[in-house]
Amino acid sequence: MKVHKVLPFLFLLMLMISCSKRQTVFSSFDDYPTTDKNLWLTYSKDATTFKIWSPKATAVKLNLYKTGNNSTVFETHVLQDDTNGVWSKTINKDLNGIYYTYQTYINENWNAETPGIYAKAVGVNGNRAMVLDFETTNPTGWKEDKHVKLKSPNDAIIYELHIRDITIQQQANSSFAGKYLGLVEKGTKSSLNVATAIDHIKELGITHVHLLPTFDHYSIDETNLDKPQFNWGYDPKNYNVPEGSFSTNPFDAEVRIKEFKTMVKAFHDANIGVILDVVYNHTGRTETSNFNLENPEYYYRFKENGTYSDAAACGNETASERKMMRKFMIESVKYWLEEYHLDGFRFDLMGIHDVETMNLLAYEVKQINPNALIYGEGWTAGDSPLPEPKRALKKHTKQMLKIAAFSDDIRDAIKGSVFEDKSTGFVSGAKDTSASIKFGIVGSIQHPQINYKNVNYSNEPWANEPWQAINYVSCHDNHTLFDKLKISQPKASAKKLKAMHKLATAIVLTSQGTPFLHAGSEMMRTKFGEHNSYKSPDSINQIDWSLKVKNADVVTYYQNLIKLRKQHPAFRMPTAKMVQENLEFLKSENRLVAYQLKNNTNNDSWKNIFVIYNSNTKPINYKLNTTWNIAVLHDDFSFDEEKSISNQIKIPAVSMAILYQK
Catalytic residue among 165, 243, 317, 348: 348
Q: Apex CA 23: angle with CA 19 and CA 28, to 5°?
A: 155
Distance CA 371, CA 153 (A): 8
Name, in order, each residue with C-beta under 8 angstroms of 621's C-beta and a sequence gap of 6 or more.
648, 649, 650, 651
**Residues facing residue 596 across a β-bridge:** 584, 610
Is 36 annotated as catalytic? Answer: no
* Eight-state DSSP code of residue 421: T
- Determine contact, residues 513/467, Cβ cutoff 8 Å: yes
**Residues facing residue 648 across a β-bridge:** 623
CA-based R_g, the chain, Å: 27
Half-sphere exposure of 35 (CA within 13 A, CB side): 15
Distance CA 548, CA 166 (A): 13
Beta strands at 344-347 and 514-518: parallel, antiparallel or unpaired: unpaired
Residue type at 143 in one-letter notation: K
Distance CA 343, CA 333 (A): 11
Q: Which of 380, 240, 357 is nearest to 311 (CA)?
A: 380
Distance CA 356, CA 329 (A): 12
Per DSSP, the three-state class of 581 is helix
- Determine contact, residues 558/522, Cβ cutoff 8 Å: yes
Beta strands at 48-53 and 42-43: parallel, antiparallel or unpaired: antiparallel
Distance CA 218, CA 290 (A): 12
Give the chain's end-to-end CA distance (angstroms, integer): 92
SS3 content of the chain, % helix, strand, coil (to 5): 35, 20, 45
Q: Is the dihedral of CA 195, 197, 199, 203 positive or negative?
A: positive
Is 259 annotated as catalytic? Answer: no
Distance CA 412, CA 308 (A): 32
Residue type at 635 in one-letter notation: D
Name, in order, each residue with C-beta under 8 angstroms of 408's C-beta and a sequence gap of 6 or more.
379, 394, 418, 457
Q: Which of 269, 264, 285 is nearest to 344 (CA)?
A: 264
DSSP string, 333-382: HHHHHHHH---EEEETTGGGSBHHHHHHHHHHHHHH-TT-EEEE--S-SS
Catalytic residue among 377, 408, 412, 483: 377
Distance CA 569, CA 508 (A): 15
Q: Which of 339, 345, 370 is nearest to 142 (CA)?
A: 339
Distance CA 402, CA 418 (A): 28
DSSP string, 480-529: -HHHHHHHHSTT--HHHHHHHHHHHHHHHHTSSSEEEEETTGGGT---TT
Distance CA 606, CA 326 (A): 47
The residues annotated as belonging to the active site are 348, 377
